[in-house]
Amino acid sequence: MKIAVLSGKGGTGKTLVSVNLAAAANHANYLDCDVEEPNGHLFFKPVDIQSEDISIKIPVVDKMLCNGCRKCVDFCKFNALTYIYDRLVVFESMCHSCGGCVLLCKEDALTEKTKNIGVVQRGVSENVNVATGILNTGEASGIPIIKNLLNYSNENDKYTFIDSPPGSACTTMESIKDADYCILVAEPTIFGVHNLSMVYELVNLFGKPHGVILNKCLDEKNPAEEFCIENNIKILGKIPFEDELGKLNSNALIAVRENEKYYSLFSNLLKIVSKEVTK
Amino acid sequence: MKILIPSNEKSMDSSVCQSFGRAPYFLIYDTNSKEDIYIDNSATASLGGAGIKAAQTVVDNNVYAVLTPRCGENAASVLKTANIKIFKTKNSSIKDNIIAFNEDKLSLLSEIHAGFHNHGDK
């Protein structure tokens, strides 16, 4: 089963939840799709790493063949092509690699070249296969890297945890597209409710079964919990806001591998999640 | 010669738009005939690359120079390739800037900003 972990903003606890759930399973895949700043590998410290370069297609112009019809310029929604007096110029950083310009060119003046945009690293950390997507700084879109990460997941493994990018934009959509279940991680603040509502809307739009893990819980009013009750959203469990967990986490240690208490907390969460997924 | 100014309205009495790429209109002013014409900037609603598309409009209108408070690097690159000069506006009045241009009192825009790409769209 593929379980995506998402939240409306960074720092809510996506990595804490996905890393510890994967570590609590007997055998699991952990896919870090937060390609702009992947950090799951800092906890897992995977070994036997194999790297795969990820590239995209970018148009190249043959100036001799281009007749200046501008069909490609008018077509490109991202304005990656301009026609300056007598020649076509490509702005590589604006290109989203849709390939439309190449298809449209009747003169065959446009062909494609490959451009490296990042890397996927695969390694092992005890019981977890760890795959990390890393997008080169300045690249427009991490989607091709996320596609590569999701293709990999081994069907024989019971659990695949997808650590999604924060927010609800294209990269997040890509990372949850094939997920069987979505875990929304929420903070106990008004701001946290706002962020939770964003991803709640997204998973509903995608028709994904989902539940919420309330992170950083204190013995006081929890607006995120109230939001869940009001909207009849399943609360999968609560993670307390405490020093012990904070210290383990800030030392890049995996709580379930260090401390019996957290092992039982996340094992229990895993059982609840599994039950929800197979429901 | 023809010069182009991003404008907020279709009038010589309107103000210079602070954004080049997403300005609602472009004023094309002919310094010889004193004629002013306004064109819609089709780049305003672009998903991305508004500066590039706006610069394409500038190139297609065969102007000598652009008068603008700011210009992003992609737009500047298109204009540079087309040998179109970029002058920095002094204030928000279109008339004042045309007078200053005619008197050779505007300087070339030296600061090209890195653009505001992907804002709100990661």
Interface predicted TM-score (ipTM) of this complex, two decimals: 0.81
Instruction: Answer yes or no: are the C-beta atoms of A115 and A100 closer than 8 Å.
Output: no
Euclidean distance between CA atoms B59 and B36, whole angstroms: 18
User: Distance from B48 to chain A by nearest Cα, in Å?
Assistant: 5
Architecture of domain A63-108: 2-Layer Sandwich (3.30)
Q: What is the pLDDT of residues B40-96, one digit of tens each?
A: 999 998 888 899 999 999 999 999 999 999 999 999 999 999 999 999 999 999 999
Q: Which residues contact B14 (CB under 8 A, 6 or more apart)?
A: B7, B8, B94
Distances B80 to B19, B20, B66, B72 between C-alpha atoms, Å: 18, 15, 11, 12
Tell me, rounded to whole angstroms, the distance of Cα A20 from its chain centroid.
17
What fold, for A2-54+117-278?
Rossmann fold (3.40.50)
* Tokens (6 digits) for A53: 């370069």
Of the given ranges (A95-99, A266-270, B31-35), which has the lowest mean pLDDT? Answer: A95-99
| pLDDT of A94 over the 90 cut | no
Which of B44, B53, B61, B117 to mutate to test binding with chain A, by most A CBs within 10 Å of its CB? B53
Contact A80 B78 (CB under 8 A): no
Residue A152 pLDDT: 73
Residue B120 pLDDT: 40
Q: What is the pLDDT of residues A44-71, one digit of tens each?
A: 999 999 999 999 999 999 999 999 999 9
Residue A153 pLDDT: 63
For B2-102, CATH gives 3.30.420.130
* Average pLDDT over all residues of chain A: 94
Q: Does B14 touch chain A (CB under 8 A)?
A: no
Of A61, A115, A114, residue with least CA distance to A89: A61
Domain definitions of chain A by residue range? 2-54+117-278, 63-108
Backbone phi and psi for residue A73, each to the nearest 5 degrees, phi listed first = -60, -45
Domain definitions of chain B by residue range? 2-102
| pLDDT of B28 over the 70 cut | yes
Between A and B, how many CB-CB pairs are < 8 A? Answer: 56
Residue A157 pLDDT: 66
Euclidean distance between CA atoms A264 and A42, whole angstroms: 23
Instruction: Answer yes or no: are the C-beta atoms of A17 and A183 closer than 8 Å.
Output: yes
| pLDDT of B121 over the 60 cut | no
